[in-house]
Structure 1
């Protein structure tokens, strides 16, 4: 601690104040304000290995100035739902490597969407997914996302 004080040039009073700071533990994925903002209201309908199906009623808070589901919200959902289809409980969360999204139509506030994610395959720690957004009433395809992720693979030793 003394070396840190010397390096930072902290006075004793400042150092004592800093040592009394309460440091909150690191949050696990899914419990922060960002996840609550985007994922609030999503209902998971079915989960199987390599497949996730959700229902999502578009909240007004996720619409753009034109009243359509924003591209940023779609990208966030591609990231979260895509990861869910390749998640392994025994391994850390995978990180996004690449994402491609085709927005084919619009969804308005209060439209009910069906979001499905399917794992396309895995090679080592690299996984690929495809995520489809469909209007639940009309069946119209709203967006298609392709999402690749990477995560640690278990050791064979």
Structure 2
């Protein structure tokens, strides 16, 4: 853990505010070591692999679902924002792959997410990915997260992929 003496605090900041920020960081585990199993390459993928289920795949569209489990929940009991981003990325890649030729590499150039509401623990979430536009060089994907029970839109994401032809040597 970082100590207060290790932190450089601006002279125009009130000391009690600096202390409260330091306490907050300690409470959420900033500067803590990760467990060995999470320090491995692609460890977060292992968390998602067991949670995310593909329900329907068609050209330009994909539907997946998952249940919010404690392992991907934040301290308030809702789906963690990082999990939203990771799921949005995975679904976007899968959706893009339904229209982009396999001989083209794709890479994520931009991912924007709007957090509209929260999906609480044990909530079942439907994730719909769809192609907005796909051209020779760019593919745009929209991803919507809705609560299965109510249909409420809780998160929405937009991903921009750049399509790269395979290098010819």
TM-score (normalizing by structure 2): 0.68
Aligned equivalent of 1:109, options 101, 121, 131:
121
Could you say which residue in structure 2 is the equivalent of 1:76?
86
Supply the distance in 2 between the matched residues of 1:64 and 1:121 (Cα, whole angstroms): 33
Aligned counterparts, 1:8-23, within 5 A: none
Q: CA deviation at 1:144?
A: 0.5
| Matches for 1:36-115 after TM superposition, within 5 Å | 36-87=46-97, 88=100, 90-91=102-103, 93-115=105-127
Structure 1, 33-42 or 68-77: larger mean CA deviation: 33-42
Paired position in structure 1 for 2:28:
none
SS in structure 1 opposite 2:93?
Answer: helix
Q: Structure 1 97/129 Cα, relative in aligned 2: closer, same or farther at 3 Å?
A: same
Structure 1 stretches of 5 or more lacking a match? 1-30
1:33-57 Cα shifts (integer Å, max 9, x gaps) = 3211123221111000110001111
Structure 1 CA distance for aligned equivalents of residues 62 and 122 of structure 2: 22
Cα RMSD of the aligned pairs, angstroms, is: 1.9
Instruction: Work out whether residues 120 and 128 of structure 1, in 8 Å CA contact, stay in contact via their aligned partners in 2.
Output: yes
Unaligned regions of 5+ residues in structure 2, if any?
1-40
Q: TM-score, normalised by structure 1?
A: 0.73
| Distance (whole Å) between structure 2 residues aligned to residue 35 and residue 92 of structure 1 | 23
Runs of 4+ in 1 over 4 A off after TM superposition: none
> Is the alpha carbon distance of 1:99 and 1:112 closer, same or farther for their aligned partners in structure 2, counting shifts above 3 Å?
same
Whole-angstrom CA distance in 1 between matches of 2:103 and 2:116: 34
